[in-house]
């Protein structure tokens, strides 16, 4: 919401600023919750990191860093090594910044593209990886809108990383996709997997979960909720599995990557053709270990108040831009794009502030706040005139 849209209601600008400031002051000041705060089970997190890749062309400005490094064949533990290159990370936003579906700038699916190249060079498979700049994520709810590659022989991953013995993974192997379904590999790298030579498959913190759809045919949301007691995994808002034996307990950061090392027991490949994994968004709601951020939270929420906690919407349908209703299905909610709903948060360059859709109509949030502003404005103005 911006005052530009709401001034169309004919209110005096100074009055709008005053009343909007008062309205916005209570939004999300005490954090963001999984489930309603009135529910028997809920979690509240203090900080957010949201990235809208459908409209973003500046990855660094959006809080992410493309990675460039090589992994030797021996270290990759496969027939090939991996070559992560910045050139394999490509932003491909929508042409129309006010839409959530339609043509992309460079063709194909809009979003962040992570490419695996089909022709190894000097024994290395060209791969792609980006890492979040923030390193202070300790517990939270982490969500990604993503469409996998259907080219056989790659591994695509969305994960939280601290070190080789503290890692939470959702990994997709294109070789596991069949005619009508797919699978996701749910993995916790723990001291037990480290002792097994980085192989979590022989531990209790590994599960191959069947999916009732092919991950390469549409965008879907994948999610994991991490608490001190467990890690819960979801697809399109539907619970998949809980891991309760071991839960990481140190801060780390988010990573997205797409790679192949030719290992027939895992990624297979390398792919015969270039393969792309496309991300439409990442949304993270978490607690921070950064002292400055902890102080900022204490200042805006000196006393716990459930009325100042915002519930995180569940994405229960595929956030896919294809099809006749793509502009609606791909339009997901961002607190950081809704004015007043990310108070004192560390926000990166938000290239899209689409508070109007293709029709140019006011969004519901702007309309609601604007009418609330009208009511308050009338009250304030009436009081001023009675003096």
The pLDDT tens digits along the chain (387 residues) read 333 333 333 333 333 333 333 344 459 999 999 988 888 888 999 999 999 999 998 888 889 999 999 999 999 999 999 999 999 999 999 999 999 999 999 999 999 999 999 999 999 999 999 999 999 999 999 999 999 999 999 999 999 999 988 999 999 999 999 888 999 999 998 777 776 676 777 778 899 999 999 999 999 999 999 999 999 999 999 999 999 999 999 999 999 999 999 999 999 999 999 999 999 999 999 999 999 999 999 999 999 999 999 999 999 999 999 988 999 999 999 999 999 999 999 887 655 443 333 222 223 333 333 333 333 333 333 444 344
CATH number reported for the structural domain that contains residue 179 in this entry: 2.60.120.200
Give Cα separations from 100 to 49, 235, 357 (angstroms). 20, 21, 8
Instruction: List beta partners, residue 94.
Output: 104
Rounded Cα distance, 157 and 189, in Å: 13
Does any domain span residue 277? yes
Does any domain span residue 335? no
Does any domain span residue 352? no
Does any domain span residue 351? no
pLDDT at 175: 96
Q: Tokens 């890692």 map to which residue?
A: 167
Residue 69, token pair as written in the block: 């490094």
Does any domain span residue 16? no
Does any domain span residue 226? yes
Closest listed residue to residue 54, CA positions, set 23, 13, 95, 19: 95
Does any domain span residue 374? no
**Cα 164 from chain centroid (whole Å):** 22
Residue 262, token pair as written in the block: 């030719």
Can you give the pTM of this predicted structure? Answer: 0.84
pLDDT at 85: 98
What's the number of domains the chain is made of? Answer: 1
Does any domain span residue 358? no
Which residues form the domain of 207? Answer: 32-300
């Amino acid at each position: 919401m911006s005052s530009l849209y709401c001034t169309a209601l004919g209110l005096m600008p100074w009055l709008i600023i005053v009343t909007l400031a008062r309205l916005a002051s209570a939004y999300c000041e005490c954090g963001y919750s999984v489930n309603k705060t009135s529910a028997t089970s809920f979690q509240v997190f203090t900080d957010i990191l949201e990235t809208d890749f459908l409209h973003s062309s500046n990855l660094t400005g959006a809080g992410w860093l493309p990675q460039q490094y090589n992994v030797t064949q021996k270290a990759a533990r496969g027939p090939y090594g991996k070559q992560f290159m910045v050139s394999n990370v490509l932003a491909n936003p929508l042409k129309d910044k006010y839409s959530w579906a339609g043509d992309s700038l460079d063709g194909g699916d809009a979003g962040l593209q992570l490419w695996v190249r089909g022709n190894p060079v000097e024994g290395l498979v060209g791969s792609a990886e980006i890492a979040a700049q923030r390193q202070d994520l300790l517990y939270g709810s982490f969500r990604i809108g993503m469409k996998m590659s259907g080219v056989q022989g790659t591994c695509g991953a969305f994960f939280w990383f601290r070190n080789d013995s503290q890692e939470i993974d959702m990994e997709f192997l294109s070789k596991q996709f069949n005619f009508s379904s797919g699978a996701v590999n749910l993995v916790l790298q723990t001291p037990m997997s480290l002792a097994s030579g980085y192989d979590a498959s022989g531990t209790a913190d590994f599960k191959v979960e069947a999916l009732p759809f092919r991950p390469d045919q549409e965008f879907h949301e994948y999610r994991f909720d991490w608490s001190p007691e467990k890690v819960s995994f979801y697809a399109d808002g539907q619970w998949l599995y809980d891991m309760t034996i071991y839960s990481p307990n140190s801060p780390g950061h988010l990573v997205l990557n797409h790679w192949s090392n030719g290992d027939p027991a895992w990624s297979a490949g390398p792919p015969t053709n270039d393969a792309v994994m496309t991300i439409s968004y990442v949304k993270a709601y978490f607690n921070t270990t950064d002292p400055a951020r902890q102080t900022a939270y204490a200042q805006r929420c000196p006393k716990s108040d459930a009325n100042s906690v915002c519930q995180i919407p569940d994405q229960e349908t595929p956030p896919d831009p294809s099809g006749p209703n793509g502009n609606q299905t791909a339009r997901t909610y961002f607190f950081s794009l809704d004015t007043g709903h990310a108070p004192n948060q560390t926000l990166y360059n938000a290239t899209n502030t689409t508070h109007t859709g293709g029709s140019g109509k006011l969004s519901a949030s702007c309309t609601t706040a604007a009418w609330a502003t009208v009511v308050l404005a009338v009250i304030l103005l009436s009081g001023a005139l009675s003096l």
